[in-house]
Chain A
Amino acid sequence: MKLRRVRAVVVKEGLQIWRDRRSLIIALLMPFMQMLLLGYGVNLDIKHVAVCTFDRENSQTSQSLLKHFQASSYFAVKHVLDSYKSVTTALDRGDCVITIVIPPDFSERLRDSGQSSIQAILDATDDNTAAVATGYAQSVVSGFSDEVQLQFSGIGGASVAAAAPLSLEARVWYNEDLDSRNFIIPGVVAVVMALVGSQLTSLTISREWERGTMELLVSTPITSMELMIGKLLPYFAIGMLDATFCLGIAVWWFGVPFRGSLATLTLVTVLFLIVVLSIGYLVSVTIRTQLGASQIALILTMLPTMMLSGYTFPIDQMPDFIRPVTYLVYSRYYLTALKSIFLKGSGVVDLWFPILIMLLYAAAVGTWAARAFRKSLD
Chain B
Amino acid sequence: MSESAIEVAGLTKSFGSVTAVDHLSFSVDRGEIFGLVGPDGAGKTTTVRMIAGVMRPDAGTIMVDGVDVVTDPEAVKPRVSYMPQRFGLYEDLTVDENIRFYAEIFEIPRKLRIERAERLLAASNMLQFRQRLAGQLSGGMKQKLGLTCALIHAPRAVLLDEPTTGVDPVSRRDFWRILFGLRADGVTILISTAYLDEAERCSRLALLNEGRVLHCDTPASLKAKMPGAMLAVISPSMRDARDLVAKLPGVENVLLVGDGIHIHVDDAARRIPELTAALNAAGIVFEPVRQVIPSVEDLFVSLTEREEKAA
Contact = CB atoms under 8 A, between A and B. Distances in A.
A215 B105 contact: no
Contacts of A221: 74, 77-78, 105-106
A111 interface: no
Contact of B91 (A5, A12, A211, A219): A211
Interface residues of B, number: 31
Given A211-B91, A212-B86, A219-B82, A378 B56 contact: yes
B84 A5 contact: no
Given A219-B52, A219-B54, A4 B86 contact: no
B176 interface: no
A215 B106 CA distance: 16
Interface stretch (B33-41, B96-104, B207-215, B242-250): B96-104
A223 to B, nearest CB: 8
Contacts of B86: 212, 215
Interface stretch (A13-21, A129-137, A255-263): A13-21
Contact of B89 (A7, A213, A378): A213
Contacts of A211: 90-91
A377 interface: yes
A213 B93 CA distance: 12
Contacts of B80: 219
A376 interface: yes
Interface string A200-222: 00000000000111111111111
B53 A219 contact: yes
A5 B104 contact: yes
Contacts, number: 79
A222 to B, nearest CB: 5
Given A212-B86, A216-B82, A220-B102, A12 B93 contact: yes
A50 to B, nearest CB: 58
Contacts of A5: 104-105, 107
B49 interface: yes
Interface of B: 49, 52-56, 73-74, 77-78, 80-84, 86-93, 97, 100-102, 104-107
Nearest to B79: A221
Contact of B88 (A8, A12, A16, A215): A215
Interface in A1-48: 2, 4-5, 7-8, 11-12, 15-16, 19-20
A377 B77 CA distance: 15
Interface in A287-306: none
Interface in A81-109: none
A219 B105 contact: no
B155 to A, nearest CB: 11
Contact of A20 (B52, B82, B92): B92
B94 to A, nearest CB: 9
A12 B101 contact: yes
Closest 5 CB pairs of A and B: A216-B88, A8-B104, A219-B82, A212-B86, A215-B84
A178 B98 CA distance: 57
Contacts of B101: 8, 11-12
Contacts of A214: 88
